Amino acid sequence: MPVASAQPQCGIVESIAYPVDRGAFSIMQDFAVPNYRFRGMYHTGEDYAAGRGGTLGQPVRAIAAGRVTFSSPLAWGRDGGVVIIEHTFPDGSIFYSQYGHMVEVEGAAFPRPFTCVSEGDILGVIGEARPAPHLHFEIRNNNFDLAGPGYTEADPFEEGYRRPSKMLTNWQFALSEAHAWHLDVIDETGPRTPPIVLFDNSLLYLDTGRVSRVTSDGRVLWRTNLEREAVALLPATNAAIITYADGRMQPINDQGALGTSWETGIAPASAPMLVGSGFVFRTGDGGLVALNSDALTAAWRLADVPPIVRWASSGGVLALVTTSDELIVAANGEVISRQALAGAGSVTPTPDGALMAYAAGGIFRIDAPYALDGQPARTSGSALALAADGRAFVLDDGVLTAFAPDLGILYQYAVPGVGGVFDLALHGDILRFVSTHGDIGAVRTSDGVLCGLTRVFGDDRARLWSALGDDGILRVGIADQFVGIDWREFLGACG
């Protein structure tokens, strides 16, 4: 029966939403975790429940328009019934959403097979299930007429199952007006070195053993596999220089051809930090090494530097915030100052060629005495940015604070729903931020208006990167995805 070779008889997905109210329901058992009640097999979906008896009898809704391919109140016996819906997405992909542990009640009968449903249609209500009432929700690309067992022996992803909250979050973004393109990378936390933007707004990035070039609109142009472990890409005239973990370097051109490699004797363990005209790396033995701009020889070395969480440089001076919440300022191989911060701080260059830092306790110029300004102690993945006129912006724990040049507070508010570690950048009057939780936002600095806010699926370990191209596309890297955002569309009325 050719049911799976879908004609989009029930429409193309134009919007998508969660099957239950995410304000009340949370994930009780995550995707792909082993469950020892089921011999350690892997969970094929996400289980949703609400607190304190708020789950039983709650409605379950279709996540998007689609066609019912399976519907049976008896599918899982005493553990309730199952509905499966087929969805056709604008890119032509087809996925099935499955809703399990439901029962029919008056006014909430299961939809009949082969009928069309719309986003938000009630499919049934949550019934009794072991060990407690919950919705088993899954998304997969096969078995349109099979109420699956909920667990697999093999990696569920390999079996065609997808992480439902990731699919929903990313499709919500992909279906939004500002979405331009989306590209998945392999490394779960994202490329370990920032991508390089080439002259035509294409990107060069390093991803688990290969370098790829992506066109300005998000299509992979070529990939070059590398024979050794690479840790960084350095921008170079003819594209980039690949830095290998064993200390070798090798040019790669914009067509993906590798040049002759050379030995530096320096084994980098971090992404490159641009200081003056050269690059500085943290090395595997816990030191810092600065390369001359020829990428051949070391300009200076420094021992005993803890892992780095933030850095900024200005006028050849490098400021580092370390995992041990220390602010280290170094230049030409010498430590200028070393001070303990209260919480995770951040640093940024100033327009006049100095550096500023933020930590619980306040903002201070690192070339001036630490000036406390009575700020409440809060820091968790803070970010700091400075405007040319001396105003400072801090995003910390989801709270945005704008400071006047004299550090008086101009405005302060909690940006709704954002969190994680932040990264900030300024473009004229617009401040943009990205976070490890997947948040992407834009704020008008003059009055603090939140102009745009969207979200992709995040990861607490995510590496962050963003760049606004001269083609009007904001390119963002969060964890294992790059996305392109139409900047003007995203800014809305602020644009």
Query: What is the contact surface with Zn ion in residues (CB under 5 A)?
Result: 47, 136, 150
Q: Which is nearer to Zn ion, 45 or 190 (CB)?
A: 45
CB of 161 to Zn ion, least distance (A): 11
Least distance to Zn ion from the beta carbon of 136, Å? 3
Q: Which is nearer to Zn ion, 59 or 150 (CB)?
A: 150
Contacts of 39 (CB under 8 A, 6+ apart): none
Nearer to Zn ion, 135 or 288 (CB): 135
Q: Where are the beta strands (DSSP E) in 194-315?
A: 196-197, 203-207, 210-214, 220-225, 230-236, 239-244, 248-252, 262-263, 273-275, 278-282, 288-291, 298-302, 308-314
Smallest gap, in angstroms, from Cβ of residue 360 to Zn ion?
Answer: 41
Distance from C-alpha of 113 to C-alpha of 10, rounded to nearest angstrom: 13
To Zn ion, the closest distance from the beta carbon of 153 in angstroms equals 16
Phi–psi pair at 351, nearest 5 degrees: -60, -25
Number of residue whose CB is nearest Zn ion: 136
Measured from the CB of residue 54, what is the shortest distance to Zn ion in angstroms? 18
Strand, helix or coil for residue 174? helix
| CB nearer to Zn ion: pick between 128 and 200 | 128
DSSP 429: T
Taking alpha carbons only, the member of 267, 241, 423, 452 closest to residue 348 is 423
CB 163 within 8 A of CB 95: no
Spatial contact of 380 and 396, defined as CB atoms under 8 Å apart: yes
Distance in Å, CB of 76 to Zn ion, minimum: 10
List C-alpha distances in Å: 287 to 94, 321, 339.
Answer: 50, 14, 18
Nearer to Zn ion, 31 or 364 (CB): 31
Place of tokens 């001269």: 470
Q: Which is nearer to Zn ion, 27 or 245 (CB)?
A: 27
Report the C-alpha dihedral over residues 189, 43, 167, 219, rounded to 10 degrees. Answer: 50
The residue (of 32 and 309) whose beta carbon lies closer to Zn ion is 32
* Smallest separation (angstroms) from Zn ion to the CB of 47: 4
